[in-house]
Amino acid sequence: MSDTQQTQELVRGPLVLLAGGTSAAGRAAARALLDAGARVVIVGSDAARLADAVRDAPGALGERCDLTDEDAVSALRERVHAAHGRVDGVLHLVGGWRGGGGLAGQSDEDFAFLLRSLTALRVVSRAFDEDLRASPAGRLAIVSSTAVARPLAGGANYAAIKAASEAWTRAVAQGFAKNARDADRAISGAAVIFRVKSLEGLEEALAAAFVALWDDTADAFNDVVIEVGAGA
């Protein structure tokens, strides 16, 4: 295969947006996607962290954006469309942890901090929903927690946000399925929930699991929960 042919194939690869992709998990996902021939846009709010993430994944592009701001995300969508076309995949990595202190320790301040993840998911998934439904292989994935299945008092805020995020993602999945039924065609979009006990040390495994979402048809993955971890 010539260099020109290879470049043309890469250009035809899926365009994937890593929302909150400046973390270790985002960097691992960027590298794995690039290795698989995808085009990657890393989105973050901190300029320095974003620059580091792009340097760590040669070939990835960076976009600075507050993903909780609807106007900012709309502007992001327009920039991405103008420069690269429609998005085929979104991996939602906006997150964080605050907890402890039992139920009495579940402060409103901590809840507001954690709520940013759900807000970003809602804003980003709405902004790129049309892209993902139009794509021949649209994929949306979030990283959730095993705490959803067994919430603890000291992590009640965190578990509640993750549960709400899962509900939102399942609603996206139903939308993909309904859109396909209404158009009388096979489903092409899949919304997936990855659950981890702790993401630390599993960044590469998560990246591989996300890339693998393009290895099968959408109906194999839509509205599916996948546990990522040792022995999972």
3-class secondary structure, 194: strand
Q: Any residues with CB less than 8 A from the CB of 68 and at least 6 apart, and which?
A: 116, 119, 120, 123
Could you tell me if 180 and 223 are in contact, meaning their C-beta atoms sit under 8 angstroms apart?
A: no
3-class secondary structure, 146: helix
At residue 99, the pLDDT reads 87
C-alpha dist (Å) from residue 159 to 18, 33, 96, 111, 118: 23, 29, 12, 10, 12
At residue 12, the pLDDT reads 53
Could you tell me if 128 and 77 are in contact, meaning their C-beta atoms sit under 8 angstroms apart?
A: yes
Q: How far apart are CA 34 and CA 47, in angstroms?
A: 22
At residue 95, the pLDDT reads 87
pLDDT, one tens digit per residue, over 165-211 is 999 999 999 999 999 999 999 999 999 999 999 999 999 999 999 99
Largest CA distance in the chain: 63
Q: How far apart are CA 19 and CA 129, in angstroms?
A: 14
Q: Which residues of the chain have pLDDT under 70?
A: 1-12, 230-232
What single letter denotes the amino acid at residue 160? Answer: A
What single letter denotes the amino acid at residue 39? Answer: R
**β-sheet with 224-227: strand ranges across:** 61-64, 39-44, 15-19, 89-92, 138-145, 189-196, 224-227
State the alpha helices, DSSP H only, in the chain.
3-11, 24-35, 47-56, 70-84, 108-127, 129-134, 156-182, 203-211
Which CATH architecture fits 15-227?
Answer: 3-Layer(aba) Sandwich (3.40)
Could you tell me if 19 and 43 are in contact, meaning their C-beta atoms sit under 8 angstroms apart?
A: yes
At residue 177, the pLDDT reads 98
Could you tell me if 178 and 192 are in contact, meaning their C-beta atoms sit under 8 angstroms apart?
A: no
At residue 102, the pLDDT reads 93
Could you tell me if 206 and 194 are in contact, meaning their C-beta atoms sit under 8 angstroms apart?
A: yes
At residue 13, the pLDDT reads 86
Q: How far apart are CA 104 and CA 120, in angstroms?
A: 27
